[in-house]
């Protein structure tokens, strides 16, 4: 599968090491995707990396990817400027399954840069707000500075039809918001057992979050999480992202906790 | 107008408490409203009370020279503030400030300790509830030590 | 015994030469066993003279030796060190190339390598089964691999039913051999009951039938067919290994924490030889290969091994940090989770992983050791 050349048409520095790129295909084609899916982004002569889509699938604007500078490819991507081009293959993988959640409540829990794939879902929910019941959004970051999409989070917070909780691990002077890990916020959010929970963040954070949600009475089948594994081909052929019988790239990255919990229970599976 | 006993019954910390014990506890309790920004407790001061928060947020932290208050935890409705009143030498470890106007039920610690000494069953029940809170806070603190969000994610 | 056509011919050695010639005449490059560097290797040949006449092999854990046979058999050995997979799924494949136009805009070119037309001569039943497994992995996928799919489409398969299993063979356990049942164009049984070998040839496809009908040869007799059947019947009795497959995926699944994984990890060098020798192992790395002039850069797929430490790398570290977890991944995938992924076993019983393991780890013994104390590994996944 050959990449399609995409041009950077927008660039926003989110935090010290996170950049959001807005991309348009140089051939004018438009990517159709669902919230939760990912693309393989290619930086010339460096390589490819799997990055979730962070834009609203219904938005009709450029596709957006929010990249954290953690390796050689992501560093190169973060360094791209408006007008530069990159390669894009995709979209790949499962999505958040928002349609199946319509009519019910949503509990959205993001940890760190895990907010990026959830921004895709949050912006879609806002665009179709009347399809859903109550929407609780819990965002945890290490420090206030490391919160991505700050202006947007503020705009979400200002809406009366969303309940947004931002909590930090380490407050900085002047932080008047909540301090504590996301799990300590969950006892206070509206959480109907019939709601659907969408969780994305580092694996350990997702494990604790799923546990806390189950303590609130949510069945594992209604908790959806987005997994990270080493994805190279993105089409279930290179083998790197296997987790038991699962190919995370094709069967995931979004799984129900019911499916994932027994797999993550085995160390180094 | 709810009585203090009603308010306590609906508070998570006191959920399922024996009616007789509740009756005893209300004898040490009173309703308070704390103004936004007010200092509630001070590090090192005598721990002579504890609070069951009904509404509003409280920041728990330390004050560092030149950096103001560094918040280490926030407390919300259904949380309780303070456990140092239960163990000698009864000194607060941190500062607590009201982030909003806070409505709470406050308990006189000397009164409470007296009731617990007189009724070990009540004392045990209360100690268990405080222990559960300490366990939750310890787990939360451990999770923060893990620096969960610092670890990577595909983004 | 006979192919779908019912046409089965009996050929002598010269007749085999005419088969090779007929295949070549149809535009195929014939790949067949030949002796190279003290081992049998599957290489391009142009004549039956290149086949390993009178050569046998001895295979055991960490052991492979050629030996001289006391006959003129051309197919008197078992699985060669390197399987056919390198021809359909090459060790390195350029997937696409990136370059910049005069404005600096990135452009991508699909790799457009010419598709070779291979005829594989001497494919064993286990090896044919391995090709059918790869069909599911590469061609039956949602995104078929273009290189594999194109080469596979052009492939002509001449199976040789196995009469010479080695000490590491267990195709009967895996239900794949020694007689090939499907997926070949021509099926050959080598008969050694006369001074010079004879070849009973059946067609397994319309293309095979067409080729067979073009040959001037006499039909096989009933006795020929019985003798051919006897060859694989005898081979069935000479399997060097046995693997109990009843409930195997489930058995492994409930023993993910079995102490045997520690035991095998103490011996395993994590060298990845088994994965390179295995005819079904398909894992790969996508790597970047920039041209020396800096004008283009290619994305290249290279064979990889789940035994590599960084195979499961995610930013921050490696998921399968220990050899224990990597061996477990390989074996439970091969014998277990492969079923869920592809509806088949990933093991075909060729025994290569046993012979080519430098410390002689035997997958059949490891599976048996876990089964012998089933339940000591309290895994739940």
User: pLDDT tens-digit profile of C52-94?
Assistant: 999 999 999 999 999 999 999 999 999 999 999 999 999 999 9
Instruction: Count the neighbouring beta carbons within 10 Å of the beta carbon of residue B138.
Output: 10
C231 and C275 housed in the same domain: no
CA distance A102 to chain B (A): 25
pLDDT of residue B2: 64
B147/A142 CB distance under 8 A: yes
C98/A245 CB distance under 8 A: no
Asked if the structure places residue C242 within a domain, the reply is no
Pick among A72, A179, A207 to test the B interface (most B CBs inside 10 A): A179
User: What is the torsion angle, in degrees rounded to the nearest 10, for the CA atoms of residue B96, residue B97, residue B99 and residue B105?
Assistant: 70
C215 and C298 housed in the same domain: no
CA distance C36 to A63: 54
The candidate with the shortest Cα–Cα distance to C170, out of C59, C90, C266, C94, is C59
Asked whether the predicted pLDDT for residue C214 surpasses 80, the reply is: yes
CA distance A201 to chain C (A): 13
C279 and C215 housed in the same domain: no
Q: Which residue of C has its CA nearest to B155?
A: C315
And the tokens for B21?
A: 């014990």
**pLDDT tens digit sequence for A168-203:** 999 988 888 999 999 999 999 999 999 999 999 999
- Whether residue C315 lies within 8 A of chain B, CB to CB, comes out as yes
- Whether residue C103 lies within 8 A of chain B, CB to CB, comes out as no
Asked if the structure places residue C51 within a domain, the reply is yes
CA distance B71 to B95: 9
- Residue among A2, A268, A269 minimizing CB distance to C108: A2
* Contact yes or no for A95/A36 (Cβ under 8 A): yes
pLDDT average per 10 residues of sequence, chain B (155 residues): 81 92 93 96 94 96 84 94 91 94 96 94 93 91 83 45
Asked whether the predicted pLDDT for residue C4 surpasses 70, the reply is: no
- Whether residue A37 lies within 8 A of chain B, CB to CB, comes out as no
Q: Could you tell me the CA-to-CA distances from C41 to C3, C66, C77, C82, C105 in Å, in that order?
A: 28, 12, 11, 7, 46
Mean pLDDT in residue range C30-40: 97
C166 and C254 housed in the same domain: no
C163 and C293 housed in the same domain: no
The complex's ipTM works out to 0.92
Report CA C51 to chain centroid distance, whole Å: 19
C97 and C209 housed in the same domain: yes
Residues of chain A neighbouring B72 (CB-CB closer than 8 A) = 171, 179
- Whether residue A2 lies within 8 A of chain C, CB to CB, comes out as yes
pLDDT of residue A174: 83
Q: Which residues of B touch A (CB under 8 A)?
A: 57, 59-61, 67-74, 76-78, 99, 136, 140, 143-144, 146-155
Pick among C105, C146, C147, C319 to test the A interface (most A CBs inside 10 A): C319
pLDDT of residue C171: 98
C63 and C139 housed in the same domain: yes
Fill in the DSSP letter of residue C336. I
Asked if the structure places residue C150 within a domain, the reply is yes
The candidate with the shortest Cα–Cα distance to A78, out of A147, A23, A19, is A19
Q: Which domains does chain A have, with CATH numbers?
A: 4-92 (2.40.30.10), 98-226 (3.40.50.80)
A63 or C380, higher pLDDT: A63
CB neighbour class for B16 (10 Å; exposed up to 12, middle 13-18, buried from 19): exposed
CA distance A22 to chain B (A): 15
A180/B73 CB distance under 8 A: yes
Per DSSP, chain B holds a count of helices (H) and strands (E) of 4, 8
The candidate with the shortest Cα–Cα distance to C150, out of C95, C113, C204, C109, is C113
Final residue before a domain boundary, out of C210, C236, C262 = C236
pLDDT of residue B147: 82
The candidate with the shortest Cα–Cα distance to C297, out of C92, C90, C89, C100, is C100
- Residue among A5, A47, A238 minimizing CB distance to C284: A238
Q: Which residue of A has its CA nearest to C290?
A: A45
Q: Which residue of A has its CA nearest to C302?
A: A238
- Whether residue C314 lies within 8 A of chain B, CB to CB, comes out as yes
Q: Which residue of C has its CA nearest to B152?
A: C315
Asked if the structure places residue C381 within a domain, the reply is no
pLDDT of residue B64: 82
pLDDT of residue C379: 52
**pLDDT tens digit sequence for A119-136:** 999 999 999 999 999 999
Q: How many domains does chain C have?
A: 2
Q: Which residue of B has its CA nearest to C313?
A: B152
Domain hosting residue C363, numbered range: 248-372
Asked if the structure places residue C2 within a domain, the reply is no
Pick among C100, C111, C299 to test the A interface (most A CBs inside 10 A): C299
CA distance A103 to chain B (A): 28
Asked if the structure places residue C353 within a domain, the reply is yes
C230 and C324 housed in the same domain: no
Residues of chain B neighbouring A169 (CB-CB closer than 8 A) = 144, 147-149
Per DSSP, chain A holds a count of helices (H) and strands (E) of 8, 15
C189 and C281 housed in the same domain: no
pLDDT of residue B154: 43
* Strand (E) or helix (H) holding C222: helix C222-236
Could you list the beta-strand ranges (E) of C1-87.
8-11, 29-36, 39-45, 55-60, 63-68
Residues of chain B neighbouring C314 (CB-CB closer than 8 A) = 152
CA distance B104 to B32: 5
Final residue before a domain boundary, out of C172, C204, C236 = C236
B72/A66 CB distance under 8 A: no
Q: Which domains does chain B have, with CATH numbers?
A: 4-145 (2.60.120.10)
C227 and C124 housed in the same domain: yes
B67 or C286, higher pLDDT: C286
- Residue among A7, A245, A262 minimizing CB distance to C380: A262
């Amino acid at each position: 599968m050959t990449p399609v050349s995409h041009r950077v048409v927008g660039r926003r520095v989110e935090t010290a090491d996170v950049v959001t790129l807005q991309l348009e295909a140089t051939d004018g084609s438009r990517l159709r995707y669902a919230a939760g899916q990912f693309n393989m982004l290619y930086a010339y002569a460096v390589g490819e990396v799997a990055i979730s889509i962070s834009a609203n699938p219904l938005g009709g604007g450029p596709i957006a990817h929010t990249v954290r500078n953690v390796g050689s490819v992501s560093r190169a991507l973060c360094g791209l400027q408006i007008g530069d081009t990159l390669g894009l293959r995709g979209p790949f993988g499962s999505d958040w399954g928002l349609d199946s959640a319509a009519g019910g409540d949503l509990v959205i829990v993001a940890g760190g840069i895990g907010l990026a794939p959830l921004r895709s879902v949050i912006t879609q929910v806002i665009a179709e707000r009347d399809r859903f019941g109550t929407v609780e959004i819990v965002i945890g970051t290490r420090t206030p500075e490391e919160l991505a999409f700050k202006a947007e989070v503020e705009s979400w917070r200002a809406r009366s039809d969303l309940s947004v909780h931002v909590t930090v691990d380490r407050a900085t002077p002047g932080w008047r918001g909540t301090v504590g890990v996301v799990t300590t916020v969950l006892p206070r959010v509206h959480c109907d057992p019939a709601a659907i929970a969408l969780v994305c963040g580092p694996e350990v954070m997702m494990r604790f979050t799923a546990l806390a949600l189950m303590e609130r009475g949510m069945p594992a089948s209604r908790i959806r999480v987005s997994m990270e594994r080493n994805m190279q081909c993105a089409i279930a052929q290179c083998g790197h992202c296997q987790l038991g019988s699962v190919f995370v790239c094709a069967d995931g990255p979004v799984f129900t906790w019911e499916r994932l919990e027994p797999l993550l229970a085995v160390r180094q599976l | 107008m709810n009585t203090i006993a009603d308010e306590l019954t609906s508070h998570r910390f006191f959920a399922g408490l024996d009616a007789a014990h509740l009756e005893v506890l209300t004898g040490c309790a009173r309703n308070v409203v704390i103004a936004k920004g007010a200092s509630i407790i001070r590090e090192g001061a005598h721990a002579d009370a504890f609070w069951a928060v009904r509404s509003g947020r409280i920041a728990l932290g330390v004050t560092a020279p030149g950096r103001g208050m560094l918040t280490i935890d926030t407390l919300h409705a259904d949380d309780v503030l303070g456990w140092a009143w239960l163990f000698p030498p009864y000194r607060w470890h941190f500062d607590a400030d009201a982030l909003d106007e806070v409505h709470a039920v406050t308990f006189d610690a000397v009164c409470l300790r007296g009731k617990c000494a007189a009724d070990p069953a009540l004392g045990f029940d209360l100690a268990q509830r405080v222990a559960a809170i300490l366990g939750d806070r310890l787990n939360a603190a451990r999770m923060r030590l893990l620096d969960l969000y610092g670890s990577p994610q595909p983004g | 015994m006979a192919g779908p056509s019912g046409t089965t011919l009996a050929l002598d050695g010269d007749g085999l030469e005419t088969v090779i010639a007929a295949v070549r005449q149809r535009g195929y490059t014939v790949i067949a066993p030949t002796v190279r560097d003290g081992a049998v290797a599957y290489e391009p040949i142009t004549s039956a003279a290149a086949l390993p006449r009178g050569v046998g092999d001895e295979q055991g854990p960490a052991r492979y030796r050629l030996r001289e046979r006391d006959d003129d058999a051309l197919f008197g050995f078992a699985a060669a060190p390197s399987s056919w997979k390198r021809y359909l799924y090459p060790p390195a494949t350029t997937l696409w190339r990136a370059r910049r136009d005069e404005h600096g805009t990135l452009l991508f070119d699909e790799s457009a390598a010419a598709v070779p037309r291979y005829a594989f001569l001497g494919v064993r039943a286990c090896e044919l089964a391995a090709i059918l497994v790869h069909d599911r992995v590469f061609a039956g996928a949602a995104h078929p691999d273009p290189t594999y799919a194109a080469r596979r489409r052009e492939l002509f398969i001449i199976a040789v039913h196995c009469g010479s299993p080695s000490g590491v063979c267990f195709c009967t356990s895996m239900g794949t051999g020694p007689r090939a049942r499907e997926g070949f164009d021509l099926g050959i049984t080598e008969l050694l009951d006369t001074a010079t070998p004879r070849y009973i040839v059946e067609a397994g496809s319309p293309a095979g039938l067409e080729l067979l009908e073009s040959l001037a040869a006499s039909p096989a007799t009933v006795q020929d067919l019985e003798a051919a059947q006897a060859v694989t019947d005898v081979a069935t009795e000479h399997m060097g290994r046995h693997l109990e497959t009843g409930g195997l995926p489930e058995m492994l699944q409930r023993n993910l924490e079995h102490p045997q994984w520690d035991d095998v990890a103490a011996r395993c060098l994590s060298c990845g030889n088994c994965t390179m020798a295995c005819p079904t192992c398909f894992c790969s790395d996508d790597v970047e290969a920039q041209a020396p002039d800096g004008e283009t850069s290619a994305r290249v797929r290279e064979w990889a091994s789940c035994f590599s430490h960084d195979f499961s790398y995610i930013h921050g570290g490696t998921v399968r940090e220990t050899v224990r977890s990597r061996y477990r991944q390989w074996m439970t995938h091969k014998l277990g989770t492969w079923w869920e992924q592809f509806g088949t076993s990933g093991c075909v019983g060729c025994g290569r992983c046993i012979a080519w393991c430098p410390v002689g780890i035997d997958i059949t013994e490891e599976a048996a050791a876990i089964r012998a104390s089933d339940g000591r590994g309290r895994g739940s996944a």
